[in-house]
Chain A
Amino acid sequence: MADTATKNTMERGLWPRIRTVGFDGMLVSFGDRLSEPANRAALAFRAAVEKENWEGVEESSTSLLSCFLRFDPLARSHAEIEAQLRQLLGRTDWYAEALPKGRRLWRIPTVYGGDLAPQLDEAAAVAGITRDEAIRSLSQARVRVQTIGFAAGQPYLGELPERWDIPRQQALTPQVPEGALAVAIRQLVLFSVTTPTGWRHVGQTAIRLFRPESETPFVLRPGDEVMFPSVSREVYENMRTSGPDGGAEFEALK
C-alpha cells in the first residue's frame, strides 16, 4: 500500500489532465491507474461541474478516474471549455475531497462457479490460486462502486487484492447473462444486461440493476460499497423468483 501511495504522489505531477474525447467530449483525468483518491477526485469534480451548469454543456459523467463532459462544439469552442475546466481544477485539491453523501453497503448473494459461472476455475488459475481460495477471496472482499458504466446501471467495483490483477481475455465471451459477476484487472463488474464481454465470468447473482419501468431505474450509485457473499445454487434459485433485488440487502453507511 505504501508503494502505491508513493507512486500516486510521484505521478501527481502529470495529473489532472484534460483531453478531448471524439468530437464533442472533454475528459478530465485524475490518474492512469486505479487509486482511491483519484476516484474520489473524479466524483467530486463531476459534482462541481454539474453545479456550474455551464452553457453549451449537455451532460457529464464519471468513469473510474475521470470526469467526462459532452458539449456542443458548434456553440462553445474546445478551448473555451478547456479554460473553464482548468479554472475549476485550480479551485481546490480534488484528491482530498470527500466521497459522495448517502452511500450504502450492499450484500448481493452470489453463486460462484459451476455452469452458472463457468470461468471461475480459469480465473483462479490465471490469478495463481485454487478455486476455493478464489471463492473465499471474492466473497469476502468489500469493494466500492467506482463508476457506473458500460451498460445502464452497471457498476465497476474495486479494488480487489493484488492477485486479481489479471488481464481481460483475448477473445470475447459471446454472452454472459444479466446478473453475471466478472473479474479482471483487480476489479469486478456486475452485469446489468446480457452481453458479450472480455471479463471472466466467475459468479452469478439474481439482482436487476436497471429497472426502466421503476421510479428509481438505477439501483447502485457511485460510492456505494458491495459484498458478494457465496450462496448455494438452491438459495440463488429461490432469490431469482423473489423479485428484482435477487436477495440483495443494503444498510446506510455513515
Chain B
Amino acid sequence: MTGKLTIRRAGPVLTVQDRGRGGYLAYGLSRGGAADLTALAEGAALMGQSADLAALEMAGFGGEFVTDVDTRIALTGAEMSARIDGTPVAWNVSHLLPAGAVLSIGAARTGIYGYLHVGGGFDLDPRLGSRATHVSAGIGGILQSGDTLRIGADRSDEVGKLLVPEDRFGGGEVRVLPSLQTDLFSEDIRAAFESTAFHRDMRGNRMGVRMNFDGPGFLVEGGLSVLSEVIVPGDIQITGDGAPFVLMAECQTTGGYPRIGTVLPCDLARVAQAQPQAVLRFRFVTMAEAVEAERRHDANLRALRGRLTPLVRDPRDMHDLLSYQLISGVIAGNEED
C-alpha cells in the first residue's frame, strides 16, 4: 500500500533530492542532486533500497511531517532533534512512523543538511530523468507547509537498524586537486591557501559556499579576464574580492573566475556539512592520491549495508524504544536542543 507524506510545517529549505540528473551539461544544466551524497547512500542502506530513490533534503531545519499509512523512515546527514509524537528518535536508525503520528524535526546540531528517507522513496514524476529539485534552474521547487509528497511502494518492513555514519561533520581537512587555472596562482598564494583556516559562510546554499578567513585574499593578476571555461562541482572559484567560493551540486556549468583547485567529490560533503564555526583546511593532492581516496570512498559506500547493526535494546529502556543509544557517539535524540 502506498501513501503520502504531508508537510504540516516546512523548514526554510526543504527539497526533494536524489543523485541528480547527468547528461544536460551541454545545455548548461548542472547535475544537482543531494548536497551530501553520502547521506543519500546511508539512507538507502538503512532502508535496504536503491540509492537512486529520492529523499527529502532539509537545510538547517526540518519541519513537521505526517503520513497517511505506516511508513518506514530513516534520518541521515546532519543530526537534528527529532521526535515522533513527542518521543525522541535517533538519527541514523530506521524507524516505523505510524500513520497519523507527527514526526517533528528541529534545528541541525552537527552539520547543515539532514535527510528524511521513506521506504519506497518519494514518488515524484521524473523531469529530465531525475526527481531532484534544481532550485537555481527552477526544476521543482522549495517545499512549503501544506505540500504533500507521494510515497513509492515499499518492498521491505525492516526497521530498527543502525548505521554509524561516515565522519564528515565539523569541518577538517578537505583534499583538493589542481585544476585548469591553478597555475595562475603563485606558489606563495597556493601555500597561503593551504595554511589558512576557513569558515563556511552562513549564506552558503546548494550552488556554492563562500569561505571566510582572516587575511588578504587570493587574487591573481589578470584573473578578471579569464575566458569562461567549464566548471565542475567542487571547483574553488576566486571572485573579484579574493574570497574562495566552493561550488556545489547546483553550480553553474561554466564560469570565468579563476579557480585555484577542485575539491575531491568524496570530500565535498565535508564542505557542505561544515557549520560556520567549524574550521576547514584545504590540502592539494595528486591525481594518484585522489583516485585512491575515491576508490576507498566508493568501497565504503558499497559496504554500508554490511555495516548495519540491529538496534539492541536494554529492557530497562523499553519505555523509550525509539531512542535507544547503542554506542557512544550516536545521538539518542533526547538531549536538550
Q: Are A212 and B139 in contact (CB under 8 A)?
A: yes
Q: Are A172 and B228 in contact (CB under 8 A)?
A: no
Chain B, Cβ-Cβ closest to A58: B22
Q: Are A22 and B179 in contact (CB under 8 A)?
A: yes
A73 and B224 contact, Cβ closer than 8 Å, known pairs A21-B230, A150-B252, A217-B128: no
A66 and B240 contact, Cβ closer than 8 Å, known pairs A22-B234, A193-B137, A212-B138: no
Chain A, Cβ-Cβ closest to B291: A73
Q: Is B220 an interface residue (CB 8 A)?
A: no
Q: Is A24 an interface residue (CB 8 A)?
A: yes
A149 and B228 contact, Cβ closer than 8 Å, known pairs A22-B179, A154-B28, A171-B241: yes
Q: Are A21 and B138 in contact (CB under 8 A)?
A: no
Q: Is A74 an interface residue (CB 8 A)?
A: yes
- Count CB-based A-B contacts (< 8 Å): 152
A156 and B29 contact, Cβ closer than 8 Å, known pairs A22-B232, A61-B230, A210-B138: no
Q: Is A245 an interface residue (CB 8 A)?
A: no
A230 to chain B, nearest CB (A): 26
Q: Is A229 an interface residue (CB 8 A)?
A: no
Chain B, Cβ-Cβ closest to A185: B225
Q: Which residues, 18 to 38 on A, are CB-close (under 8 Å) to B?
A: 19-25, 27, 32-34
Q: How far is the CA of A66 from the CA of B26 in the complex (A)?
A: 12
A151 to chain B, nearest CB (A): 6
Q: Is A64 an interface residue (CB 8 A)?
A: yes
Q: Are A63 and B127 in contact (CB under 8 A)?
A: no
Chain B, Cβ-Cβ closest to A194: B136
Q: Is B57 an interface residue (CB 8 A)?
A: no
A84 to chain B, nearest CB (A): 17
Q: Which residues, 53 to 95 on A, are CB-close (under 8 Å) to B?
A: 58-66, 68, 70, 73-74, 78
Chain A, Cβ-Cβ closest to B262: A22
Chain A, Cβ-Cβ closest to B29: A152
A1 to chain B, nearest CB (A): 19
Chain B, Cβ-Cβ closest to A19: B180
Quick one: which of B28, B179, B264 contacts A150, CB cutoff 8 A? B28
A193 and B265 contact, Cβ closer than 8 Å, known pairs A23-B177, A63-B228, A73-B291: no
A149 cross-chain contacts in B, Cβ below 8 A:
28, 228, 230, 252-254
Q: Are A64 and B180 in contact (CB under 8 A)?
A: no
Q: How far is the CA of A169 from the CA of B232 in the complex (A)?
A: 23
B283 to chain A, nearest CB (A): 15
Q: Are A198 and B180 in contact (CB under 8 A)?
A: no
Interface size on A, residues (CB 8 A): 52
Q: How far is the CA of A109 from the CA of B128 in the complex (A)?
A: 30
A20 and B230 contact, Cβ closer than 8 Å, known pairs A46-B26, A153-B27, A198-B239: no
A24 and B265 contact, Cβ closer than 8 Å, known pairs A148-B28, A152-B27, A168-B240: yes
B127 to chain A, nearest CB (A): 6
Chain B, Cβ-Cβ closest to A189: B228
Q: How far is the CA of A19 from the CA of B177 in the complex (A)?
A: 12
Q: How far is the CA of A19 from the CA of B230 in the complex (A)?
A: 12
Q: How far is the CA of A21 from the CA of B233 in the complex (A)?
A: 10
Q: How far is the CA of A116 from the CA of B138 in the complex (A)?
A: 22
Q: Which residues of B contact A (CB under 8 A)?
A: 22-29, 127-128, 134, 136-139, 177, 179-180, 224-225, 227-230, 232-235, 239-241, 252-257, 262, 264-265, 287, 290-291, 294-295, 298
A-B contact pairs, 10 of them (CB 8 A): A21-B179, A23-B262, A23-B265, A63-B254, A74-B291, A150-B252, A172-B240, A198-B239, A210-B29, A217-B27
Q: Which residues of A contact B (CB under 8 A)?
A: 19-25, 27, 32-34, 46, 58-66, 68, 70, 73-74, 78, 147-154, 156, 167-172, 184-185, 187, 192-193, 195, 198, 210, 212, 217-218
- A193-B136, A193-B137, A193-B138 are known contacts; what are 10 more A-B pairs with Cβ within 8 Å? A20-B177, A149-B230, A150-B28, A150-B254, A150-B255, A168-B240, A195-B252, A198-B239, A212-B138, A218-B27
